[in-house]
Structure 1
Amino acid sequence: MPALIEPHDEFMGAVQQIILSSSETDYIDQLIPVMKDVRNSDRATNLIQALNQVSNDREAEIERICNSNHQEFISSVNQLQRVREGTVTLTAEIMTLSQSIEASTEKLAEQKKALVDSRSVRQNVDDATQALKDCLEVLRLANQVHDLLAKKNHYAALRVLDELQNVHLREVTRYKIAEMIERSVPATQRMIAEAVMADLHTWLFRIRETSQFLGEVAFYHTEMRRARQKERLEQDEYLGSFKLNSAVEMVADESEEFDVLNNEEVQVDFSPLFEAMHIHDALGQNEKFRQEYAATRRRQKELLLPTTLDLLDEEGAGLSSLLESIAGFAIVEKATMTRTENLRTAADVDELWDSMCQSAVTLISTALPTVDNDEKLLKIKGVIALFIQTMESWGYSVSSLDKLLLTLFDKYAQLLKQRFSEDFQEIVSTDDYMPMPIGNLDEYDKVINVSWYTPDKERELLSFPCVLPFSQMYPLCCIDIRNFLNHIYLFSDDHFQNLNVIDETLKNSLDELLCEKVSRSLVERLSSQYPGQIVQILTNLDHFETACQELQELLVEARSSASAAGPIVLRATEEFSTAKKRAEKRIFELVNSKIDDLIETAEYDWSSTYVPDMASPYMQELTRYLSNIMSSVLLGLPVQIKELIYFESLSHISTMLLALPFDQSIRRISPQAVHAFRLDVDHLVDFVRGLDNSVLMEGLDELRQTAELMSMGAEGRDKAEEEFFDVERGRKKFGRVDKMNGAELLEKVSQGSAAASAQAEAKVTSPTVDKKAGTFSNFSSRFGVNKGQS
């Protein structure tokens, strides 16, 4: 029914759109949605029916058109027939052409396939070529690393290796060569590190070999600074108070710039060290490098120090080489610390320095006992002082070396003392102990210049030949004393901090030399029995005492330590004073011994009745001896000593003579004996009075007053006692006479007078007196001889 909608009508719209499609592609595009909606066979049938209906409608339309235009249709059919024939022909040709095209297409497909295959191969070749180029670049860089290593361009090699690792290897990570080279990078880094360390070790070896020369150059520079400081001292004394390496000296020497590490003589290039540090920093091995460098320097330090040291070498090459090497090594260490960061700390450098100093001190101390010459020791000190001043300028601590200088100075002082001790001993033992003769003015000037001696006469008033009071040993000892002073102070010319030790050692050494080798040696010779030698020893001792006093003032002026104050007192001054007293005592002993011998010959006969008219022979001999010894043997003594000897001798004579009448065996003293005694005393008094010395006269007051009291007692006891015991008169006339002694003498004289009176009365009453016997008795009483003596 027309009103009913056929099932295929719903597809008509879609079919119409399909028919109206402009191309096969659109046709399919319109058909696909319709076919998706066909769920079952009914809908498919409906679609086919719709398509058939459209086809039928088209055919009907064609038929209608054809029916209306039959003739035209026939013509068209004929035309179409002709066209069809042409079409068949064309189709045949097309088929032929198609076959030809198909054959060509197959060939073209094969060619295209070949082309596609060739393009793939070409792409693979291109990829392989690029990969090869990348790998070759990697290999080139790897080889370049080794080439740079061979050329010692370590840092450049490290930079190339870093570029290779961080850039180029990332481009070839998919290739096995990248893995191989990546694995070799650490080994290559080690090679670079080892190569740079090898170069650094070579540099360190050269530095160690150069250390001695570097130290020698540093020592020479210090010597030049010393010379310049000395010149400045000569121009301005104020600058002389500042030592080398003081702030003032360093400022004054700023104009003389000198680089010990880079000069005409030596150049130390730190580039290998900087390169090694940079490379290890790039490798992240700073701490490892620092430890290895420190260990290497410690080993080099050990190689630098010998096992033994010879200090007896005439040129001192062993010690100089040791100290120069240590100096060069330490200078490089200090320069390394200042020119780098975190490589060498101050503690590391100071540790090595202290170790080297301790080893050097040990070596020198061990070899020091072999040195037995003070001049050699002074040279050793000079080298050490130069070393100390050089290293002090680099900021190193030199306290251990200062202690070593103390040890050297002690040894030096001992050697000097030993040498001068032998000189003093030889001088004292070979002296002739005679006043020193001088032949001319030049010789006189030389002696005066070296001796502490003030002449009595002006130089222009002297006549030659002349004789100086001291013997030859005195100026010779003075020369040795001055030389000893000069040698001691030579030790303080260079760096020496303990100047007070020099002053104290000098004082003690002088005391020891003068006391033990001069004073005591002279005292030992006081046992001589020759008064002339004793007198000369006393004279020498007196001049040595004066020399010590002058020497004390000289030591104060020449004192090394400016901080020291106060006087210097030599023990030798008191020693010589004591020795001089012993010499005086010895002279007193010899003189008094002679006096004793002479007085022993007196042998007074205290009961004698003979009246002599002159002094006894022993007294005349005694005064003659005193006169001779004072004018000859004791002539060279100073006036005060001669007066003292005179005084002591006269006092001894007085004591000895006073002891004679006080002998316990003497019961009485005759007036004749009193007269003889008085004559002897008056003779002695007259002799002393002739010396025109009131002090000496005072020494005989007791003897003179005693003799006068005895004479007064012989004239009359009562009057004598009245004079003696009266306070006022006794004090004036007999003030030096002891009351008990005076009373005893008066008693003996009184008894002697009584006995003499009784004997005189007996002679008057006796007619048979033998004149010859009386004459002999008088003679024996006068001279103190017995009848049996010849």
Structure 2
Amino acid sequence: MPSLIDPRSELDYAVQQIVQSPSDNEYLNHLIPAIKDASRGGRGQQLLQSLNQYSTDRETEIEKICNTNHQGFVSSVNQLLQLREGTVTLVHEILSLNQSIQSSTERLAEQKRGLVESRGVRQNIDEATQALRDCLEVLRLANQVHDLLGKKSHYSALRALDELQNVHLQEVTQYKIADMIQKSVPATKKLIAEAVMTDLNTWLYRIRETSQFLGEVAFFHTEQRRARQKDRAETDDYLSGFKLNSAIELTSDETDEFDPLDNEEVQVEFTPLFECIHIHDALGESDRFRAEYATTRRQQKDLLMPAFITLIDEQGANLKGLLEGIAGFAIVEKATLERAPALRSAADVDDLWDSMCQTAIALISKALHEVDNPEMLLKIKGAIALFVQTMNSWGYTSAAVDTFLLTLFEKYAELLKRRFSDDFQEIVSTDDYMPMPINKLDEYDKVVNVSWYSPDKARDDLSFPCVLPFSQMYPLCCIDIRNFLNQFYFFSDDHFQHPRVIDETLQASLDELLSEKVCQSLVERLSSQYLGQIVQILINLEHFEVACQELEHLLVAARSTASAGGTIALKATEEFRNNKKTAEKRIFELVNSKIDDLIETAEYDWLAPALETEPSNYMQTLTTYLSNIMGSVLLGLPTEIKELIYFDALSHAATMILGLPLSAEVKRINPNGVAALAKDVRYLTEFVDTLGNPILGQNLEELQQTVALMQADNSEEFYDVSTRNKKYGRVDAMNGPVLLEKYVCKLPFRQQATLYLIPLLLF
């Protein structure tokens, strides 16, 4: 829009102000702004024209004035000319100055514009520099996070990331980089979580790799504790009643501290786990981490358990490695529970422990059929016991393993029974069934020490060689019985929670072995026809009965406190006792059979024409036989048994001899025949009298009285009850008349009829 004031009027006014200035300074003060305004507005020429116009107007005025006053006018003209000359000069100077000022003003404006621009650029540079510094700091911290990740300083990286997010990023929110970095924070946190999990997985892998060695170290420490406890028990009997992991043992072993997780052999550092827990807690992912860790440990547990094992490898390395691996794994779990209770619960740890135990039991049970050696089974039990004792010291329960040990013990008992059954059978079958000869004192001591035998003579009164009453099988069986007992109780060493089962199984097994493999085998050999063997079997049975009685006392003393009190009665004791009667009967049978054979050789001529001067051959042989068996074969028997055998043999012999004249084949007997029988009876009586036992002679009374009846002058006395009871009380009421009938066959018919009727009247 054009200005309402005429620019020429403005210049005229400015010229008037310049010209009318009272002083030079004021003149310049008005002149310079006018020049600047004219120069700025491009009106410099107009200013000159205004000045020229002003000058022309003044000249006109002056000329008018001069016309009235010429002289003054001339003077004024001169002055005016001078003034004009000065003005022209001044105008030139002003123009020059104006030009100079204009040039300076332009330069100054240019410089000022450059200065303003420079100040703006500088401010922008400063702002950009500060922004760059802030962004560089953010980038530095972002790079530092990754550097710390590279250095495995996961927690430091997380703290740096937190500082970056909550502090430094807030200062550069106006920049794009802040948004970029803010968007990368979750990914960086994920990187940290993955990195720490990678380190944890590496740690877990190393833990899994060192689990077996850790278990081996723990087992070695338990064995050392066993040795120390054994030494303490040998020093103090009171301590022998306390087992490993008991309060007394733990207290006694306090001075020997040992940490399986931190020792010269192995060091388990839990820093990666703690760092992982801390980082996931800081990330707010504790629950997820806990679940992932539990899953990982279950997977590692599954990887730890093999598909199968063998129990017959050299030194049991397969089973040992399995148990050591389980122990190391469980120890790490228990240590984790103690150090980080928020990560692992007792239920989680116990579940893993139960799972590993069940799997191990299944693997061992599956491979158990390979084992046919009780010593190998004892080693297996020892390895399991060491495993249980080690884990009990870490607070783990062993109920499942203890129950499995029962199965192991049943297998062990069966193998032992099978082995000793074969041994007993071999001993019984290869015995010579002769009294055992001893040539030296040390042999005698060995036999007495292993056998339950109480010698009749003192040790110092013995002379060698000598003979013991039992055969060689008895001390051999005693040795096997002692070994059987010891090996049975070997199973209870170290750790076995069912001692009562051992006591009961041992008693039942002993009964079975002694009854079926020893006693029954001996009874089966009673069918032998060799009297000496039967006698030796009887003697052995006698000693086995004593051994069983001693075993009953030994089992009472050796049984555990958990077993019921009272006495122990082995069924085998009664078996041996009863079968002694069987052996005695068999001896009676053989002796009586021999007697029968000898008496069957008797050749009496009941109608002999002349008297016999010597006893019959069979009678001499019979007495010789009875004398020989008493002095040799039956010598080792107890006195009461020998007398019983003799008593039965003589009774049987008397009955058989009496049966000779009673035979249906003998029709008649004359006095010579009776005399021959009487001579043999006297011979037998004299032999019995030499034995020095009056009771044995009672067996011959019937035979003696019967012969006396046949030789009596008045045989009718037999039919008189009072007389018969006095003289012939032992004569059978039926046999007497029969013999008298044969002997008196020449009597009249009336007397013969009387003899037939008398027995009927007697009954």
TM-score by length of 1: 0.79
Where does residue 480 of structure 2 map in the other structure? 480
Tell me which of 717, 723, 745 is aligned to 2:735. 745
Return closer, same or farther for 1:735/1:224 CA change in 2, 3 Å cut-off: farther
Q: Which residues of structure 2 form unaligned runs of 5+?
A: 1-15, 38-101, 752-763
Mapped to 2, the partners of 1:314 and 1:120 lie a distance apart of 90
Mapped to 1, the partners of 2:35 and 2:355 lie a distance apart of 106
Where does residue 94 of structure 1 map in the other structure? 29
Give, in angstroms, the shift of residue 140 of structure 1: 0.6
Question: In 1, are the aligned partners of 2:718 and 2:728 still within 8 Å (CA)?
Answer: no
Give, in angstroms, the shift of residue 582 of structure 1: 2.4
Where does residue 379 of structure 2 map in the other structure? 379
**Mean Cα deviation higher: 91-100 or 180-189:** 91-100
**Mean Cα deviation higher: 633-642 or 355-364:** 633-642
Letter in 1 for 2:737: E
Question: In 2, are the aligned partners of 1:678 and 1:711 still within 8 Å (CA)?
Answer: no
Where does residue 209 of structure 2 map in the other structure? 209
CA RMSD of aligned residues (A): 2.8
Letter in 1 for 2:512: E
Give, in angstroms, the shift of residue 554 of structure 1: 1.7
Question: In 1, are the aligned partners of 2:304 and 2:326 still within 8 Å (CA)?
Answer: yes
Return closer, same or farther for 1:699/1:394 CA change in 2, 3 Å cut-off: farther
Return closer, same or farther for 1:420/1:525 CA change in 2, 3 Å cut-off: same
Where does residue 718 of structure 2 map in the other structure? 720
SS at match of 1:467: strand
Return closer, same or farther for 1:421/1:623 CA change in 2, 3 Å cut-off: same
Give, in angstroms, the shift of residue 258 of structure 1: 1.3
Return closer, same or farther for 1:704/1:676 CA change in 2, 3 Å cut-off: same
Where does residue 352 of structure 1 map in the other structure? 352
Where does residue 229 of structure 1 map in the other structure? 229
Mapped to 1, the partners of 2:310 and 2:745 lie a distance apart of 97
Question: In 1, are the aligned partners of 2:718 and 2:724 still within 8 Å (CA)?
Answer: no
Return closer, same or farther for 1:703/1:507 CA change in 2, 3 Å cut-off: farther
SS at match of 2:314: coil
Question: In 1, are the aligned partners of 2:717 and 2:724 still within 8 Å (CA)?
Answer: no
Mapped to 2, the partners of 1:596 and 1:298 lie a distance apart of 86
Mapped to 1, the partners of 2:604 and 2:489 lie a distance apart of 67
Mapped to 2, the partners of 1:532 and 1:749 lie a distance apart of 39
Mapped to 1, the partners of 2:626 and 2:17 lie a distance apart of 202
**Mean Cα deviation higher: 565-574 or 663-672:** 663-672
Return closer, same or farther for 1:701/1:165 CA change in 2, 3 Å cut-off: farther
Mapped to 1, the partners of 2:276 and 2:638 lie a distance apart of 85
Mapped to 1, the partners of 2:557 and 2:706 lie a distance apart of 56
Return closer, same or farther for 1:298/1:733 CA change in 2, 3 Å cut-off: farther
Q: Aligned residues: percent identity?
A: 65
SS at match of 1:329: helix
Could you list the per-position Cα deviations for residues 37-71 of structure 1 after superposition, in whole angstroms to 9, with x for gaps in the alignment? xxxxxxxxxxxxxxxxxxxxxxxxxxxxxxxxxxx
SS at match of 1:87: coil
SS at match of 2:327: helix
Return closer, same or farther for 1:734/1:755 CA change in 2, 3 Å cut-off: closer
Q: After the TM superposition, which residues 455-534 of structure 1 pair with which residues of structure 2 at under 5 Å, given as runs?
A: 455-534=455-534
Give, in angstroms, the shift of residue 131 of structure 1: 1.4
Give, in angstroms, the shift of residue 121 of structure 1: 3.0
Q: After the TM superposition, which residues 179-198 of structure 1 pair with which residues of structure 2 at under 5 Å, given as runs?
A: 179-198=179-198
Question: In 2, are the aligned partners of 1:675 and 1:711 still within 8 Å (CA)?
Answer: no
Give, in angstroms, the shift of residue 502 of structure 1: 1.6
Give, in angstroms, the shift of residue 751 of structure 1: 3.5
Give, in angstroms, the shift of residue 339 of structure 1: 0.8
Question: In 2, are the aligned partners of 1:148 and 1:157 still within 8 Å (CA)?
Answer: yes
How many equivalent residue pairs?
670
Question: In 2, are the aligned partners of 1:705 and 1:736 still within 8 Å (CA)?
Answer: yes
Letter in 2 for 1:630: M
**Mean Cα deviation higher: 191-200 or 689-698:** 689-698
Could you list the per-position Cα deviations for residues 137-182 of structure 1 after superposition, in whole angstroms to 9, with x for gaps in the alignment? 1111100000000000000000000011111111111111111111
Where does residue 755 of structure 1 map in the other structure? 745
Could you list the per-position Cα deviations for residues 316-363 of structure 1 after superposition, in whole angstroms to 9, with x for gaps in the alignment? 211111111110110000010011122111111111111111111111
Give, in angstroms, the shift of residue 589 of structure 1: 1.6
Where does residue 448 of structure 1 map in the other structure? 448
**Mean Cα deviation higher: 686-695 or 373-382:** 686-695
Letter in 1 for 2:383: V
Return closer, same or farther for 1:179/1:83 CA change in 2, 3 Å cut-off: closer
SS at match of 2:179: helix
Where does residue 629 of structure 2 map in the other structure? 629
Give, in angstroms, the shift of residue 192 of structure 1: 0.4
Mapped to 1, the partners of 2:413 and 2:17 lie a distance apart of 155
Give, in angstroms, the shift of residue 514 of structure 1: 2.3
Mapped to 2, the partners of 1:551 and 1:733 lie a distance apart of 55
Letter in 2 for 1:252: S
Letter in 2 for 1:288: R
- 1:652 and 2:587 aligned: no
Mapped to 2, the partners of 1:180 and 1:496 lie a distance apart of 68
Give, in angstroms, the shift of residue 211 of structure 1: 0.9
SS at match of 1:433: coil
Question: In 2, are the aligned partners of 1:669 and 1:751 still within 8 Å (CA)?
Answer: no
Return closer, same or farther for 1:135/1:463 CA change in 2, 3 Å cut-off: same
Mapped to 1, the partners of 2:671 and 2:730 lie a distance apart of 22
Return closer, same or farther for 1:730/1:747 CA change in 2, 3 Å cut-off: closer
**Mean Cα deviation higher: 472-481 or 282-291:** 472-481
Letter in 2 for 1:483: N
Question: In 1, are the aligned partners of 2:710 and 2:740 still within 8 Å (CA)?
Answer: no
Return closer, same or farther for 1:82/1:208 CA change in 2, 3 Å cut-off: closer
SS at match of 1:316: helix
Letter in 2 for 1:644: L
Question: In 1, are the aligned partners of 2:706 and 2:736 still within 8 Å (CA)?
Answer: no
SS at match of 2:602: coil
- 1:312 and 2:302 aligned: no
Mapped to 2, the partners of 1:286 and 1:83 lie a distance apart of 92
Mapped to 1, the partners of 2:344 and 2:725 lie a distance apart of 99
SS at match of 2:437: strand
Letter in 1 for 2:735: L
- 1:424 and 2:414 aligned: no
**Mean Cα deviation higher: 516-525 or 292-301:** 516-525
Return closer, same or farther for 1:603/1:561 CA change in 2, 3 Å cut-off: farther
Question: In 1, are the aligned partners of 2:661 and 2:739 still within 8 Å (CA)?
Answer: no
Return closer, same or farther for 1:392/1:703 CA change in 2, 3 Å cut-off: farther
Letter in 1 for 2:28: E
Give, in angstroms, the shift of residue 186 of structure 1: 0.6
Mapped to 2, the partners of 1:494 and 1:570 lie a distance apart of 28
Q: After the TM superposition, which residues 547-586 of structure 1 pair with which residues of structure 2 at under 5 Å, given as runs?
A: 547-586=547-586
**Mean Cα deviation higher: 666-675 or 357-366:** 666-675
- 1:125 and 2:128 aligned: no
Letter in 1 for 2:577: S
**Mean Cα deviation higher: 656-665 or 456-465:** 656-665
SS at match of 2:319: helix
